[in-house]
Structure 1
Amino acid sequence: MAALTALDQARGGHAALERAALAGAAEAVGLQRNAVSQTVRQRLLSVAAHYTASAAWSCIDGRQLDRARVHLGEALRMAGMAQDSTAQLRVWNSTAMLAHQRHEYGESVAASQAAQATTAARRNPLCSSLAHARTAIGHASRGDRQPALRSLGHAEAALTKADPTTPRPAWISFYGPAELAALTAIVRELLGEPAHAEAASHQALALLSVRLRRNRSMTTVRLAAAQLRQGEVEQACETTGAAFKLMAGDPLPGRLRTMLGDFHRTLFTVAPSAHAAREWADQYRTRWSTA
């Protein structure tokens, strides 16, 4: 499972990762049928829930949203039988992301608040911080500025209480000050504050590990979008070039392609006749639309 997480962080979600995760889940479910005790059965169901959540996440990242929803439902069912609140939090976190991608913002807020209510979030400040940050994005998507900023404040406060030396599961290894800065950039972008979004993206890139190649690429495109919304057309076009370089050698994950498509549309809305815009389209359009 840790190896699959590392693959996701470097390359992003893809079909082979989904298949491998589902195979792991099936093996764990098969083993639990012959387990000699309830404790062992629950632990194996917990493993299966996490594997299935990994498959769901791969689909979310690859923009295979209907398949993601099916996997999340199964992962939540197994997490409940396993009585694993960390797995439940993980599923609710992904459900909030899926709802956001489907523009179901009320459901996104409800899912992130369900993550906040899990035992894992109540006991672990790192998990609590992630759940509050996801709630902030849900509020911002609905244009609710004060609730969004309040949730961000809760996320920041919780993160200061998290002990960075405490061992954590591989799936949440991505989360920390860098990722919170990246999520803050999303909130600020959704609230129509591109200067704040740009600053938060710069902060995230300064802190993000080089191994989180997909996350760095997406934050880079978010930085470019913030620059573009402030009229910095040439700078924005140059910034996106770094995102393509980061993912060189691998197909672009679906979420990243979607972000680049949004950038392209905004670019030709803001500066349809700019030389930099035409040059960007000539250089990158084929890659982001077909990768």
Structure 2
Amino acid sequence: MGANVVLQARLQQLGLSQDQLADRCNDALLAITGRPGNMSSRTVRNLLDGSSQRPIGRTCVALERVFGCPVTDLGLSAPHSLQEDPMRRRAFMLSTTGTAAATVPVLRRRGTVGMSDVDRAAADMETLVEVDDRQGGNASLAIRALSARKKVLDLQQRNASERVRRALYALAAEYTNLAAFSYIDLRDLDAAQRYLNEAGTFSGLSQDPFAGIHFWINIGLLSSQRKNWAEHRASAHAAVATKAARNDPFFSSLARARLALSHAALGDRRAAKKALGSAQDALSKATQDARPRWTSFYGPAELNHISAITCFRIGEHAAAEAMAHRALAKIPREFQRNRALATCQLASAQLRQGEPEQATQTAVAVFSIMNGAPLPQRIRTLVGDFHRDLLRIAPSTTCTREWVERMRDEWSRV
């Protein structure tokens, strides 16, 4: 049992307090039944903290009316008796055009799940990964990923072959990894940890090598955000040891690139360069095989970006600048978040070489790259790091004053 983060996020989107949600639900019941409901803030609190996961029928009907979706999309389970509840049917009729033609008939579930069901359940993955590529993680993306995961896990309750069950667990792991990655971008690291724990369980149940290495890569990313470099290194070693990395040079390169970041952060220059060289060699041997959609971010451009970070951490700032330029020359325009991250790295490398004017011009480009989209918290953190370094290295320059003004404008707009 854990907190219902899906319902929490939907509540935040509506801008409601627990008392206000209870009031709206009671109003909904009044509109549907002619009698006011008796929900309280305690009822809502129990739903949010996970102590109530299958609310009674009246509560379900009220929640569905307020949020405009089934309770299963809110991280909750409906009582079995609610499937044919006349009050629920009436609630949905009132929320549509009011005609019988507007209602959707309830279809009887088929008893057995097959691979075609798995393929349909995976349909949202492409869209969600594309959103992540463009804008980075956000609360809406995490909610959508968890909602898709809920549908996948519901399929596990039906009859299926062992092959299908493993495929469903692999898909659940991928949706959970995507939600966790969004929370890493949002810098909600506790939520990311919870979902990565779940992703690890689903990955193990699936026995899927791609889900396994994805889990370790994300564990490493979370560790890096916490600056726990020993754990980051351990997760990179675990990724290197996975079946995916052993069998495919592409995944071997990805894992060894993460290992290079670990060694650099721990001050081991020689090991960092060795791991980076191994990552480059492995990538040169990788073929154009079909791989999971989440791997689309990795290739020569991302490896150049990782090389820039590695060089920066071991104090080779000129090399870091060169690698960041190479990365930006190859990162696709639609990968806005990755381009913004590489631009932050480039600006920091320029600043450390005593070029504050050039560095601030580069850093300003981050805002135009994101094209008005909110900056993921991970990018905001890097911009904040650059800001503090600039004030320390060149506190009295004109470019610093101009940067401070631009920061004030951008942050107030956000």
Equivalent position SS for 2:137: coil
| Counterpart selection for 1:43 from 167, 172, 176 | 167
| Counterpart selection for 1:30 from 154, 168, 185 | 154
CA distance in 1, matches of 2:409, 2:293: 34
Shift of 1:284: 2.0
Q: What is aligned with 1:161?
A: 285
| Counterpart selection for 2:317 from 194, 209, 216 | 194
Tell me if the contact between 1:188 and 1:196 (Cα under 8 Å) persists in the aligned partners: yes
Amino acid across the alignment from 2:186: G
Shift of 1:124: 1.1
The answer to whether the aligner puts 1:60 opposite 2:184 as a matched pair is yes
More helix by share: 1
Amino acid across the alignment from 1:124: D
Equivalent position SS for 1:173: helix
CA distance in 2, matches of 1:246, 1:141: 28
Amino acid across the alignment from 1:37: S
CA distance in 1, matches of 2:390, 2:221: 25
| Counterpart selection for 1:257 from 367, 380, 394 | 380
Q: What is aligned with 1:93?
A: 217
CA distance in 2, matches of 1:154, 1:173: 20
User: C-alpha deviations, 1:219-247, integer Å up to 9, x for none?
Assistant: 01110100000010100010112111011
Q: What is aligned with 1:208?
A: 331
Q: 1:138 to 1:47 in 2, by over 3 A?
A: same
Tell me if the contact between 1:260 and 1:288 (Cα under 8 Å) persists in the aligned partners: no
Shift of 1:248: 2.1
> Structure 1 stretches of 5 or more lacking a match?
none
The answer to whether the aligner puts 1:102 opposite 2:195 as a matched pair is no
Tell me if the contact between 1:227 and 1:235 (Cα under 8 Å) persists in the aligned partners: yes
Higher alpha-carbon Rg: 2
CA distance in 1, matches of 2:164, 2:365: 47
Q: What is aligned with 2:296?
A: 173
Shift of 1:288: 4.4
Task: Summarize the alignment of residues 229-244 of structure 1 with structure 2, pairs less than 5 Å apart.
Answer: 229-244=352-367
Q: What is aligned with 2:274?
A: 150
Shift of 1:61: 1.2
| 276-285 or 179-188, which deviates more | 276-285
Q: What is aligned with 1:125?
A: 249
Shift of 1:290: 6.8
Tell me if the contact between 1:35 and 1:41 (Cα under 8 Å) persists in the aligned partners: no
CA RMSD of aligned residues (A): 1.1
Amino acid across the alignment from 2:144: A
Q: What is aligned with 1:224?
A: 347
User: C-alpha deviations, 1:159-215, integer Å up to 9, x for none?
Assistant: 01111x322211000100000000000101111111110000000011111111110
Amino acid across the alignment from 2:196: L
- Output the TM-score relative to the length of structure 2: 0.69
